[in-house]
Structure 1
Amino acid sequence: MKKMKAISFVAFLSLILVISACSSSDTGSDGGSEDGTTLTIGSWRTEDKASYEKVIEKFNEEYPDINVEFKPSKNTEYNTILNTALQSGEGPDIIHLRPYTPGIELADAGYLEPLDGLEGLDQYPEETLAASKGTDDKQYGVPLNISTTQMFYNKKIFEEVGLEEPKTWEEFMTLNKTLQDEGYTPISLGTKEGWLLSLAHGIIGPAHYGANEFVDNITAGETEFTSDEFKSSIEALDELKQFFPENYEGLGMEDIRTMFFTGDAAMFPLGSWEIEVLREMNPELELGFFPMPSAVGKEPTITTWVDGSYAINANSENKDAAKKFLQFMTTEEFGTMFTEEFKMISAIPGIESDDELVNSLGKAVEEQSTPYMMLVHFAGGNPSTKATIETELQGMYLGERSPEEVANAVQDSAKSWYEPLK
Structure 2
Amino acid sequence: MKRMLSLFLGVLLVLSLALAGCSNSGSDTEGDGEDGDGEVLTIGSWRTEDKAAYDKIIEAFNEEHPDIKVEFKPSKNTEYDTILNTALQSGEGPDIIQLRPYAPGMELAKAGYLEPIDDLDGIDVFTEETLSAATSEDGKVYGVPLSLNSAQMFYNKKIFNDLGLEEPKTWDEFIELNEKLKEEGVTPIALGTKEGWLLSLAHAIVGPAHYGANEFVDQITEGDKTFTSEEFVSSLDAMDELKQYFPENYEGLGMEDIRTLFFTEEAAMFPLGSWEIEVLREMSPDLEIGFFPMPSAEGKDPTMTTWVDGSYGINANSTNKEEAKKFLEFMTTEKFAKLFSDELARIPAVPGVKTEDELVTAMAEASNEYSTSYMMLVHFNRGNPTTKATLETELQGMYLGKQTPKGVAEKLQGNAVTYFEPFQ
- TM-score, normalization: structure 2? 0.92
- Equivalent of 1:346, from 336, 348, 359? 348
Q: What does the per-residue CA deviation read over 1:345-398, in whole Å, with 9 as the maximum and x for residues that have no partner? A: 101111111111011111112111111111111110001000101111111111
Is the 8 Å Cα contact of residues 31 and 317 (structure 1) preserved in structure 2?
no
Give the match for residue 233 of structure 1. 235
Q: Does the alignment pair 1:297 with 2:279?
A: no
Q: What does the per-residue CA deviation read over 1:171-228, in whole Å, with 9 as the maximum and x for residues that have no partner? A: 1111111111111111111111111110100000000000000111111111101000
- Equivalent of 2:413, from 398, 411, 414? 411
Residue 37 of structure 1, CA deviation: 4.5
Aligned counterparts of 1:388 and 1:142: Cα–Cα separation in 2 = 29
Residue 417 of structure 1, CA deviation: 1.1
Give the match for residue 3 of structure 1. none
- Equivalent of 2:389, from 365, 387, 390? 387
Aligned counterparts of 2:148 and 2:308: Cα–Cα separation in 1 = 5
Q: Does the alignment pair 1:92 with 2:94?
A: yes
Give the match for residue 271 of structure 1. 273
Aligned counterparts of 1:24 and 1:399: Cα–Cα separation in 2 = 59
Q: Does the alignment pair 1:283 with 2:295?
A: no
Give the match for residue 4 of structure 1. none
- Alignment of structure 1 residues 105-254 onto 2, 5 Å: 105-254=107-256
* C-alpha spacing 1:33/1:111, structure 2 compared with 1 (3 Å): farther
Aligned counterparts of 2:133 and 2:51: Cα–Cα separation in 1 = 24
Residue 250 of structure 1, CA deviation: 1.3
Q: What does the per-residue CA deviation read over 1:306-339, in whole Å, with 9 as the maximum and x for residues that have no partner? A: 1100000000011000000000000000000010
Residue 24 of structure 1, CA deviation: 9.0
Aligned counterparts of 1:213 and 1:77: Cα–Cα separation in 2 = 36
Query: Partner letter of residue 146 of structure 2?
Result: L
Q: What does the per-residue CA deviation read over 1:117-171, in whole Å, with 9 as the maximum and x for residues that have no partner? A: 1122112121210111111100000000111110000000000110111111111
* C-alpha spacing 1:109/1:33, structure 2 compared with 1 (3 Å): farther
Aligned counterparts of 1:277 and 1:241: Cα–Cα separation in 2 = 25
Query: Partner letter of residue 73 of structure 2?
Result: K
- Alignment of structure 1 residues 4-83 onto 2, 5 Å: 27=30, 35-83=37-85
Aligned counterparts of 2:155 and 2:60: Cα–Cα separation in 1 = 35
Residue 31 of structure 1, CA deviation: 8.3
- What is the percent sequence identity of the aligned residues? 69
Is the 8 Å Cα contact of residues 148 and 271 (structure 1) preserved in structure 2?
yes
Aligned counterparts of 2:368 and 2:122: Cα–Cα separation in 1 = 21
* C-alpha spacing 1:61/1:26, structure 2 compared with 1 (3 Å): farther
Residue 282 of structure 1, CA deviation: 1.2
Query: Partner letter of residue 124 of structure 1?
Result: F
* C-alpha spacing 1:239/1:35, structure 2 compared with 1 (3 Å): same
Give the match for residue 329 of structure 1. 331
Aligned counterparts of 1:226 and 1:26: Cα–Cα separation in 2 = 61
Is the 8 Å Cα contact of residues 30 and 37 (structure 2) preserved in structure 1?
no
Give the match for residue 5 of structure 2. none
Q: Helix, strand or coil for the counterpart of 1:298?
A: coil
Q: Helix, strand or coil for the counterpart of 2:223?
A: coil
Query: Partner letter of residue 320 of structure 2?
Result: N
Aligned counterparts of 1:279 and 1:41: Cα–Cα separation in 2 = 25
Aligned counterparts of 2:198 and 2:54: Cα–Cα separation in 1 = 27
Query: Partner letter of residue 75 of structure 2?
Result: S
User: Aligned pair count?
Assistant: 409
Aligned counterparts of 2:382 and 2:339: Cα–Cα separation in 1 = 34
Give the match for residue 257 of structure 1. 259
Query: Partner letter of residue 408 of structure 1?
Result: E
Residue 32 of structure 1, CA deviation: 11
Give the match for residue 373 of structure 2. 371
Residue 35 of structure 1, CA deviation: 4.0
Aligned counterparts of 1:327 and 1:35: Cα–Cα separation in 2 = 24
Aligned counterparts of 1:394 and 1:25: Cα–Cα separation in 2 = 49
Give the match for residue 363 of structure 2. 361
Query: Partner letter of residue 82 of structure 2?
Result: T
Q: Helix, strand or coil for the counterpart of 1:69?
A: strand
C-alpha RMSD of the superposition: 2.2
Query: Partner letter of residue 200 of structure 1?
Result: A
Q: Helix, strand or coil for the counterpart of 1:76?
A: helix
| Uncovered stretches (5+) of structure 1, i.e. residues with no partner | 1-11
Is the 8 Å Cα contact of residues 157 and 266 (structure 1) preserved in structure 2?
yes
Query: Partner letter of residue 96 of structure 2?
Result: I
Q: Helix, strand or coil for the counterpart of 1:138?
A: coil
Aligned counterparts of 2:46 and 2:27: Cα–Cα separation in 1 = 33
Is the 8 Å Cα contact of residues 60 and 66 (structure 1) preserved in structure 2?
yes
Residue 116 of structure 1, CA deviation: 3.0
* C-alpha spacing 1:31/1:106, structure 2 compared with 1 (3 Å): farther
Structure 1 consecutive aligned stretches of length 4 or more whose deviation exceeds 3 Å: 22-28, 30-37
Q: Helix, strand or coil for the counterpart of 2:141?
A: coil
Query: Partner letter of residue 184 of structure 1?
Result: V
Per mean C-alpha deviation after superposition, the further-off stretch among 33-42 and 153-162 is 33-42
| Uncovered stretches (5+) of structure 2, i.e. residues with no partner | 1-14
Aligned counterparts of 1:216 and 1:288: Cα–Cα separation in 2 = 31
Q: Helix, strand or coil for the counterpart of 1:82?
A: helix
